Amino acid sequence: MNFPVTRLRRLRRTEAMRSLVRETHLRPSCLIYPLFICPGEGVRKEISSMPGVFNLSLDEAMKEAETAASLGLGGLLLFGLPAEKDEMGTGAWAADGVVQTALQAFKQNRKLDSLIQIADVCLCEYTSHGHCGLVARDPYARDGEHFQVENDSSVALLAKAAASLAAAGADIVAPSDMMDGRVAAMRDALDAIGHQQTPIMSYASKFASAFYGPFREAADSAPQFGDRRGYQMDGANLREAMREIDQDIAEGADMILMKPAMPYLDVIRAARERCELPLGAYQVSGEYAMLHAAFQRGWLEQDRAILESLLSIRRAGADFIVTYFAKDAARLLG
């Protein structure tokens, strides 16, 4: 380049000029807001490590959903806290389960028509042991790993859960369990009940991450023993993330979700360059919590940091973002 003829600052001089040449944009419609729905009435219990995020009973969740719609958000991602948990996670496919009930109620409310209702599909919120599938003794185990989450039997239950959520009105089902073969099994289960039109958004590359810590309080889903490294991915592996994506596409995934977001922006970029499917990223609970911890201390400017964090995820290649900041960001963008 030939300074002084070339002066890059010319295009930065005014907001109008910056706006004209801006490469990446955030819109409320590309943001998805997670909700944690619990039994009861009038319940609005704040998650201690996630200021502004609550366990909500259905009546309160309805208000929250209406706010999300009025802000122009793209959709909701629904998680459920069942009244009771068991070894198999029966609540995940109960026709009157907490998320199924919420979906049915949301579908009746015309004010929510603009919101895509996405149901997270996993067992960890519903199992007494907090794992994402069925747990069995591992006959080949070495010290410390006496139990493993069984893949194929878990997949059968997850497919049942996906079908039940679609039947209750989910616009999209989003498997977050990381079992092998679950996308194909869910496609079969959805088609078998006449839901050929329900898309599957697979959490294709989901890393075993410390950044899920606050979520496990929100969803009451911390594993009671062991951890999730036997099924979620090793944070060191980018090539393996690409294999996960290829596999989910081959099994029939309609869209792909990457998770976490900010510590894995390189993986999002690589995914974007590899596949043509709509691609989302999940800015997870720990990413939200750490930013809030800094906001509370006055160490970061809240509004700017929220938008900059989301812009970085869009710039890395995500079409849409699941974020606990969705409402805040929509207000700032509005």
Give the residues lining the site for ligand PBG (CB under 6 A).
120, 122, 124, 132, 176-177, 212, 215-216, 228, 284-285
- Is 204 strand, coil or helix? strand
Q: How far is the CB of 216 from ligand PBG (least distance, A)?
A: 6
What torsion, rounded to 10 degrees, do the Cα atoms 24, 252, 170, 218 define?
A: -70
| C-alpha of 63 from chain center | 21
- CB-nearer residue toward ligand PBG: 192 or 210: 210
Beta carbon of residue 223, minimum distance to ligand PBG (angstroms, whole number)? 8
Q: Which two tokens stand for residue 1?
A: 């380049």
Least distance in angstroms from the C-beta of 212 to ligand PBG: 4
| Chain position whose Cβ is nearest to ligand PBG | 215
CB 32 within 8 A of CB 280: yes
The question of whether 85 is a catalytic residue gets the answer: no
Q: Are 12 and 303 within 8 A, CB to CB?
A: no
Query: Which lies closer to ligand PBG via its Cβ, residue 68 or residue 132?
Result: 132
Nearer to ligand PBG, 191 or 305 (CB): 305
Indicate the residue among 228 and 327 with the shorter CB distance to ligand PBG. Answer: 228
| Shorter beta-carbon distance to ligand PBG: residue 58 or 158 | 158
Q: How far is the CB of 7 from ligand PBG (least distance, A)?
A: 43
Shortest distance, CB of residue 220 to ligand PBG, whole angstroms? 11
Q: Which of 85, 107, 160, 206 is catalytic?
A: 206
Catalytic residue among 63, 85, 107, 259: 259
User: Which position has the token pair 């995940």?
Assistant: 92
- The structure tokens listed for 272 are 């974007």
User: How many Å apart are CA 164 and CA 176, to the nearest integer?
Assistant: 16
Q: Do the beta carbons of residue 135 and residue 148 sit within 8 Å? A: yes
Output the smallest distance, CB 122 to ligand PBG, in A. Answer: 4
Alpha-carbon distance 258 to 280, whole Å? 6
Nearer to ligand PBG, 216 or 272 (CB): 216
Phi-psi label, residue 158: left if phi above 0, alpha if psi -120 to 50, beta otherwise: alpha
Q: Which of 234, 93, 129, 250 is nearest to 182 (CA)?
A: 250
Which runs of E-coded beta strand occur in the chain? 31-38, 44-47, 50-57, 75-80, 116-121, 135-137, 147-149, 172-175, 201-206, 255-259, 279-283, 320-323
63 is catalytic: no
User: Residue 235 carries which side chain, given as an amino acid letter?
Assistant: G
Q: Which residues are catalytic?
A: 206, 259
